[in-house]
Copies of this chain bind each other. A is one copy, B any other.
Amino acid sequence: MMNLKHKRCTLNDIAELSGVSKTTVSMVLNGRADEFRIKAETRQKILSIAQQHHYRANIYAKALQAQRTNTIGLVIPDFSNFGFAQTSKILERLCRNNGLQLIISCSDEQPQQEAKAIENLLERQIDLLITTPTQQSKRCYPHLDTLPSLQLDRVIKDADHVPYVITDDQSAVAEMVSGMIEKHQLSEFHYLGGLLQLTPSEARLQGFKCGLQQAGLPLQADWIHHRDYRAESGYIMMQQLLQHAGRLPQAIFVASYGLLVGVLRFLNEHQLLNQLSSRQLHLATFDDYELLNCLPFNINSIRQNHEQIANQLFASILNLLDKKPSENKIIPAELCWRDQ
């Protein structure tokens, strides 16, 4: 099945064809000919025969004997989420160019699917596992004790000894919120957030509070709204906000793009988008999309640095595979101001 059409050729085949032993072929093909002082002639013959026959080493045999698979697992919530897709893509390229295979799975935010995906990867003897956990407890992730591990974007509270790479959500949100308050002399600022048990949600809310404080605007309890991250929730929170207050607020910070979509759909359906154009309502969101540059109103956004996240992740991978310790990385985000 590995090869249906004509049986794949092995080290042994090459050895027989070249009239030397497996050992010799192995040395040559692994670039260790010098080390073992293989005759130039033998070297050439082996190389050319291997080439002719499209010899490809069997990594399964290699892994078996080396007790190392050079494979690492990545379990993210969803790769149709642009941010995760971006990070995965860059990381995959980095890995591939360095002889590592990245295997990506989706949890779909469902603990059960996540568990299956992890179990599956463990069966494949991965050398290291990167997760964006959906659960808050270390108990759900037994691999943390037995396998080199990294956390991406989210950190399990009782597992902060497992190194992580995250965005500095808090600073970015604080800076954006205080900036907007000052620029527009706001006396009011609402916040729509996602699942509070996730560390980024917490950091964003914390950032929001800091932002108010920095700008000297006292927080009011009914400014803060929380549900999950689905667009539907953005719609509902917006609806409730309006019902309660009887009018649109001066400004809203939306904690994710998913929520923003819901908010905009609500505003659109209720003919309120013009409040944005006329700057009666100021909007900012976490995460940045190109389409935000194409709208007839201005929405500030916070752009995560996926390139750097992937790079740091990769650096940590190399460290861990090398049995060196790896430090936590907190990557700054970039503010995209659009409300000139």
List the B side residues contacting A61 at CB < 8 Å. Answer: 64
CA gap between A60 and B65 in the complex, in Å: 10
Flag if B86 contacts A147 (CB, 8 Å): no
List the B side residues contacting A3 at CB < 8 Å. Answer: 146-147
Flag if A116 contacts B96 (CB, 8 Å): yes
What are 26 A-to-B residue pairs whose CB atoms are below 8 Å?
A: A1-B67, A1-B68, A2-B67, A2-B69, A2-B125, A4-B148, A4-B323, A6-B146, A58-B64, A58-B125, A59-B124, A60-B125, A64-B64, A92-B104, A92-B105, A96-B116, A96-B117, A97-B116, A261-B294, A264-B295, A265-B290, A265-B294, A267-B294, A268-B293, A273-B296, A296-B296
Distance to closest chain B CB from A88 (angstroms): 7
Q: Quick one: which of A283-315 are within 8 Å of B by CB?
A: 289-291, 293-296
CA gap between A293 and B262 in the complex, in Å: 10
CA gap between A148 and B56 in the complex, in Å: 18
Flag if A295 contacts B323 (CB, 8 Å): no
Flag if A93 contacts B79 (CB, 8 Å): no
Known: A58-B125, A265-B290. 11 other contacts (CB 8 A): A3-B146, A59-B123, A79-B85, A80-B82, A80-B85, A92-B104, A96-B117, A96-B120, A265-B294, A273-B296, A274-B296
Residues of A within 8 A of B (CB): 1-6, 8, 56-61, 63-64, 67-69, 78-80, 82, 85-86, 88-89, 92-93, 96-97, 101, 103-106, 108, 113, 116-117, 120, 122-125, 127, 145-148, 231, 261, 264-265, 267-268, 273-274, 289-291, 293-296, 321, 323
Distance to closest chain B CB from A332 (angstroms): 21
Q: Please tell me which one of the listed residues B69, B89, B261, B268 contacts residue A78 in the complex, with CB atoms under 8 A apart.
A: B89
Q: Which residue of B is nearest A103, CB measured?
A: B103
Flag if A296 contacts B323 (CB, 8 Å): no
CA gap between A256 and B103 in the complex, in Å: 29
Give the one of A113, A116, A296 with max B CB within 10 A: A296
With contacts A89-B78, A125-B58 taken as known, whether A268 is within 8 angstroms of B290 at the C-beta atoms is no
Flag if A56 contacts B123 (CB, 8 Å): yes
